[in-house]
A and B are shown apart, each in its own frame.
Chain A
Amino acid sequence: MIQSNDKPSVRRLAWVTTASFVVAVVVIIGVVLPAEYGIDPIGTGSAFGLMGLSRVQPIAPENTEYKTDVLELELGPTEWTETTYRLAEGASMLFSWEATGPVSFNFHSAPDGASPGYAESFDAKETNRAHGSYIAPFSGTHGWYWENLGSGYVTIRLTTAGFYSEVYQTRDRISGSRSLRNARGELLDQ
């Protein structure tokens, strides 16, 4: 606490405390409200050009080709399939999929140049649908692994739109060997 000879008077303390509070209120109304919340009650936000700060940049232009795909994947009991997309870092993709029965999925991404079998998982659940948007955190292959949990056949209908360059597909039984195919079913080297 402020000591001895220069102890402030009650009057001065009351003055600065009130001033401090009033300044805080003025700043909150005049600056914080427009800059942080996009609300401009006294017009200072537009006067000082603060209104854009709280707004999300609505458009992110892309230079790569725009693609859309609809895939129907049928899985028998114990079968799994993996569908991945080649996306460069920062490229985006919208997706929506729905399965006719219960499946477990894992959305994962393998960075270019990573050792075989390495992938980072971003979402994994047992469900029969999911949709959303994805922005690739690094260049590589990004996509879903699905496994049929039921004893009958399920069909997964996957719709994607975005800035990917290629689609890869692998499928097999859970105990079986793996082979990598592209979307047209052609066998790829692994």
Chain B
Amino acid sequence: MKNDTRGLVFVGIGLALVLGGLISPLQAHPMDEQNAAFVQSIDGIAVFPFMYLGAKHMVTGYDHLLFLVGVIFFLYKIRDVVLYVTLFTLGHSATLLFGVLASIGANAYIVDAIIGLSVAYKAFDNLGGFERIFEFRPNPKIAVLVFGLFHGFGLATKVQEFTLSQTGLIANMLSFNLGVEIGQVLVLVMVLIGFTYWRHRDSFGQYAFATNVALMTAGFILTGNQILAYVLYS
């Protein structure tokens, strides 16, 4: 198979994955209505429910997942994985806590559109797009930190949609944040196992390009879906 044809096959697989998620009841950010009602009824400190919600948000929110896949795609050393994931964590924790405590909320659809764009950005960067087409590659460490800030703003905006009780707000927010990190570690372990297995095979070299094209397409679709939601629902 020619490389471009193979790329298109993978674009198709990426589409199937994204659509599978879109059409199933799991939206990109599934806080089920039951969860929402329960969170709204909480008055006071509830460490474990909020931890659970944070972890669930990360494990089932596939825009965060795809971004992480993009970030660690070409990180071969575990030290680099830790560095980049730490930068991402610092970024999203900062805006999650600051956003909730200062009651700053952006439009959730806009923030989610930027998160979708971060997936496409990282995939384009992985392909060498910035270096080859623009002959300038933005520092990837700064990029992951900045997108971390946006992801955290998304988390903060989402959580504030539930009229959170002021009682125990800080403890509940920290629990949610801790849950997010637990969910992220769970996801990272699975993705890293997959990459470790895949990297030592010939197919990694063959499909790395195509996989990032698929990732970029998925990012564009996520972005488009959020823009549509913004235009039609806001």
Chain A: residues with CB nearer than 8 A to chain B? 1-3, 6-10, 12-17, 19-21, 23-25, 27-28, 31-33, 35-37, 39, 53, 120-122
Contact = CB atoms under 8 A, between A and B. Distances in A.
Given A2-B126, A7-B132, A16 B225 contact: no
B129 A24 contact: no
Contact of A20 (B11, B22, B41, B229): B11
Contacts of A2: 74, 126-128, 208-209, 212
B213 A20 contact: yes
Given A16-B4, A28-B228, A35 B23 contact: yes
Interface stretch (B55-63, B83-91, B107-115, B214-222): B214-222
A8 B11 contact: no
B221 A27 contact: yes
A62 to B, nearest CB: 21
29 contacts: A1-B125, A1-B126, A1-B127, A2-B208, A8-B127, A8-B128, A10-B132, A10-B133, A13-B127, A13-B129, A15-B4, A20-B213, A20-B216, A23-B11, A24-B221, A24-B224, A25-B220, A25-B224, A27-B15, A27-B19, A28-B224, A28-B225, A32-B19, A32-B22, A32-B225, A36-B22, A36-B229, A37-B232, A122-B37
B124 interface: yes
B8 interface: yes
B131 interface: yes
Contacts of B209: 2, 6, 8, 16
Contact of B220 (A12, A21, A33, A120): A21
Interface string B116-137: 0000000011111101110001
B215 to A, nearest CB: 9
Nearest to A2: B128
Contact of B131 (A1, A16, A33, A122): A1
B30 interface: no
A7 B221 CA distance: 26
